[in-house]
Structure 1
């Protein structure tokens, strides 16, 4: 008996299937990120108290972590902007400590990006080198595995070694949204934190907000006025949900 010959269309389909790339696995991308371990002494000196958890104020960051993750889970959200009314309020301090607190949840993956392009400092807070430009990354010139650094198996940072004044224009470029969407797809993080500049300084924060689900505002004790806080709340809440306003006190504690 003569066997039926395979249909040419079926053969082409099978060949195409064989040429398709393997199914995307976030584990592969996380494992491909270079590891950089911050010096504990530098972290302590820069008040990243969630790293060693010796300072009693670390409990406030654990509380913030849990409340934030619960609120995000209820909405199916993962992308959070962190900003302040003006400089000196400690938004980067809050970002770093929140990130290290979340990293203690082994099943929770987080990515933190320094979006204060005018005065990047997150890498200095952690005592690490910023090897690349955030501008280059947002313009699609770098792959995530080239750009990001892991400090933990479940925590990655994106730093910036080249300040840029035209941040608002860059943030509103469609390429920025495409790059961030790609990052979220490749790494599938449970949480993305964006350390942004002060909201009342320039229009950088407003330009970036379409890329996030909600906003945390850090007010500085002895720095932020009631008028500043009210103005920021009104301005930002018109664009994205306000997840909370936190008082970063002068003595380094956090009031929720």
Structure 2
């Protein structure tokens, strides 16, 4: 029999990130709980995923999880929910990617994804959701949408994708299907690199694009800005928004752009 636990979702930065412009606390029911210590079903994220069924919600409590997380190929609709990017970190430790999205329609929210020798999030196929994540410090791309196992596409919402060596997002698809909204893509080698034509391959709306080096980053989507997001202290990895940041209140719903 499945054991379920009522928890509070990391979608609320009021609880986890201290940001008053986010929606109110929303209760969710977790099927599995992961924690470094104390009461939990599993000590590693991968162990929880190995036991997951379609549609399971896995709550990951605060801590730094040094593992390469691989969402299962034979499952759909798993939700992996962290306690917020300032509290829950997936560090690949030089492995290929912090999170690999196998399967279809999985959702990952509330994490920092870092330490990938190649990528923070690798999407070789399927369509997935990446929400309220800080994706930084990866050797190649922050998010890589590949055609390796089909057409890898994602909805990327309220993410901060910053300081990845080659590009913030790379979309290898030539057709539509990926949407990036309410996010900050800044100070990567390139911002958003694509194989197809801008605005025909990837929809970008209400995003801040800053310090990029290719013309592919000229997206005409509604609400996009090209300004310094004014992070608090990026040199020390503090990517919260400063008090006068143009990203404050600039998301589609009037909340802040980015993961905080």
Normalized per residue, which structure has more helix? 1
The answer to which structure, 1 or 2, has the higher relative contact order (CA under 8 A, 6+ apart) is 1
Q: Which has the larger radius of gyration?
A: 1
Report the TM-score when normalising by structure 2: 0.31
* TM-score, with length taken from structure 1: 0.31
